Amino acid sequence: MSEDKLKEFKRIMTTAVKEQFQFPRSRITKKSFEQKFMCVAAGRDCYVTPHTENSVDEDGHPTIVNMSLYYIEDAHAATWLKGEGWIFSDEVITKAITQNAFLSDAYPDLDNVTHS
């Protein structure tokens, strides 16, 4: 791939990623972040859940990352992590809500499934 084509590819990908967010990842107070989230939620059913991610760092040591996941109508809409927060664009949120509604209608007993 030529250098010009590579630059254009990177520009397109960067733009595509930025368009996923209406409030990209940035340092902000949690209170300010939650105020922005409530504006985005605009009266829709929303909630927050704690989430812990266990992984391994590049040296093979276990790591634990605690975060808060924000939902609008059961669709993941925003994340708060270590003094930074980001909120997905309305388009991404709406698409996730629509997909969740479809799955709920198509598989009404999905939440009642137990795994062995």
d(CA 3, CA 101): 44
pLDDT(25) > 90? no
Name the CA dihedral angle for 27, 29, 32, 36, rounded to a multiple of 10 degrees.
40
Share of the chain above pLDDT 70, in %: 68
pTM of the model: 0.67
Contact 7, 15 (CB under 8 A): no
Domain ranges of the chain: 22-103
Mean pLDDT of the chain: 78
pLDDT(105) > 60? yes
* pLDDT attached to residue 114: 42
Mean per-residue pLDDT, 49-70: 90
pLDDT(49) > 90? yes
